[in-house]
Amino acid sequence: MADHSSHPLDTLPFDAVATAGHYGVAGTLGVTARRIDGLSIATLAARKGDDDALAEAVRGALGLELPRASRAVFAGARTLIGTAPGRWLALSGLDRDIAGTLRAALGPLAAITDQSDAVVTLDLTGPKVADTLAKGALIDLDPRVFLPGMAATTVLAHIGITLWRREEATWRLLVARSFEAALLRFLVSSAAEYGFELDDRG
């Protein structure tokens, strides 16, 4: 009888961001996490006034329909996610400064705040993403229920995240920069039984 279970967290320093590599069960890949760099990110809050005018202006600026619920909408490299009533997150791999773009286009209709450095973006792919996230989230992430385009601003292992399903097999989440190491520890620990791979910044 072995003295102790091998656990990937045993060798992972608790105060460092996990390095790229394979964790957990060898030879299988249940979940792959890839850090996505280079996105320009901003929060958008509707000011007092005309919601329809805001929607119209956003349509004009980004070519996207402002989601009125916890949904993600995409067009090209731009994404808009509803995070709360009257609040959205805008992400772009196209604009160098999405906050600036929006500020110029929306004027007094919305308050725009640059958050490009506030969050770390992770893409999660693989057959076991939902099972892994279920170990820390308290919402229904069953792939039959949480369909592509759905989004949630919620907690994962007591860490605030915004999560959405981009495609059938790709989930994306944003986590505050200071929590990146802790969140990766949760992912390493929870996906280890399925085989977990952390990719270099992409």
Residue 10 CB, nearest distance to another protein (Å)? 10
User: What is the contact surface with another protein in residues (CB under 8 A)?
Assistant: 1-9, 14-17, 24-25, 43, 45-48, 110-111, 113-119, 134-140, 142, 144-145, 157-159, 176-183, 185-186, 189-190, 192-193
Nearer to another protein, 39 or 62 (CB): 39
48 neighbors 110 (Cβ within 8 angstroms): no
Residue 131 CB, nearest distance to another protein (Å)? 8
Tokens, residue 181: 């190491």
User: Which of these, 199, 185, 186, lies nearest to 32 by C-alpha position?
Assistant: 199
Nearer to another protein, 123 or 193 (CB): 193
58 neighbors 75 (Cβ within 8 angstroms): no
Strand partners, 114: 42
Nearer to another protein, 110 or 198 (CB): 110
| 156-191 as b/e: b if 16+ CB within 10 A | bbebebbbbbbeeebbbbbbbeebbbbbbbbbbbbb
Nearer to another protein, 20 or 45 (CB): 45
Residue 35 CB, nearest distance to another protein (Å)? 12
Nearer to another protein, 76 or 96 (CB): 96
Q: Which long-range contacts (CB under 8 A, 24 or more apart) does 57-62 make?
A: 57/105, 57/106, 57/107, 57/109, 58/102, 58/105, 58/106, 60/105, 61/101, 61/102, 61/105, 61/106, 62/90, 62/92, 62/102
Tokens, residue 202: 């992409």
Residue 136 CB, nearest distance to another protein (Å)? 7
Q: CB-hemisphere CA count at 13 Å for 129? A: 23
Nearer to another protein, 10 or 52 (CB): 10
Residue appearing with tokens 């949760």: 186
Residue 64 CB, nearest distance to another protein (Å)? 20
Residue 120 CB, nearest distance to another protein (Å)? 9
